[in-house]
């Protein structure tokens, strides 16, 4: 079936099987491999993308369900000249990653969190990131990065 999506600002028309998950469409058909597959059960958040302005776990959505949608992946966050999004820069500056597997989903969730809760406290940030699992960092540097990214996004 034909599925039209706007991905990172570009209109894309894909020929997909009806049971193709959004994460598969992004990774396998569009070669946007920054969106990771972690658990395949919407538990870990590694596959998080922004769909029509909301963070969603793309392993839990059929691509056909979101035909016509506007999707932003980690590849679409940076500016065209390569300048990192403030949240990406904050994760780098605060070392909010170790192995990096959860990082793209964590960054996408953090961007959504800050767009919706621009004055979230550290405790609220911890609560709002609950759907993203990191097995390496202990979350302290991730929370520090979200606080820094939140301030940078507000200033921009």
* Residue 46 near residue 104 (C-beta atoms within 8 A): yes
Residue ranges per structural domain of the chain: 2-74, 86-155
Look up tokens 């921009």; give the residue: 156
Contacts of 144 (CB under 8 A, 6+ apart): 94, 96
Q: What are phi and psi of 25, to 5 degrees?
A: -60, -45
CA separation for the pair 51, 106 (Å, rounded): 15
> What pTM was computed for the model?
0.94
CA separation for the pair 52, 14 (Å, rounded): 18
Contacts of 89 (CB under 8 A, 6+ apart): 149, 152
CA separation for the pair 113, 129 (Å, rounded): 8
Closest CA to 106 of 145, 78, 151: 145
Residue 84 structure tokens: 């990192």
Q: What are the pLDDT digits (tens) for 112-149?
A: 999 999 999 999 999 999 988 888 877 899 999 999 99
pLDDT for 156 equals 82
pLDDT for 135 equals 86
CATH no. for 2-74:
3.10.20.30
Please state which CATH class domain 86-155 belongs to.
mainly alpha
pLDDT for 138 equals 79
Q: What are phi and psi of 21, to 5 degrees?
A: -75, 155
28 DSSP 8-state letter: I
CA separation for the pair 101, 142 (Å, rounded): 13
Is the confidence at residue 43, as pLDDT, over 90? no
CA separation for the pair 143, 128 (Å, rounded): 11
Q: What are the pLDDT digits (tens) for 55-98?
A: 999 999 999 999 999 999 999 999 999 999 999 999 999 999 88
């Amino acid at each position: 079936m034909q599925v039209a999506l706007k991905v990172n600002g570009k209109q894309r028309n894909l020929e997909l099987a009806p049971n193709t998950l959004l994460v598969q469409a992004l990774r396998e058909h569009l070669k946007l491999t920054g969106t990771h597959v972690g658990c395949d059960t919407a538990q870990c958040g590694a596959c998080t993308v922004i769909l029509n302005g909301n963070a969603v776990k793309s392993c839990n959505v059929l691509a056909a369900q979101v035909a016509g949608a506007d999707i932003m992946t980690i590849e679409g966050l940076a500016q065209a000249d390569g300048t990192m999004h403030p949240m990406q820069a904050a994760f780098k500056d605060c070392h909010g990653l170790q192995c990096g597997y959860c990082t793209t989903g964590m960054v996408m969730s953090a961007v959504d969190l800050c767009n919706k809760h621009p004055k979230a406290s550290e405790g609220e940030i911890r609560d709002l990131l609950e759907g993203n699992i990191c097995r390496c960092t202990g979350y302290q540097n991730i929370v520090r990065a979200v606080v820094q990214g939140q301030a940078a996004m507000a200033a921009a």
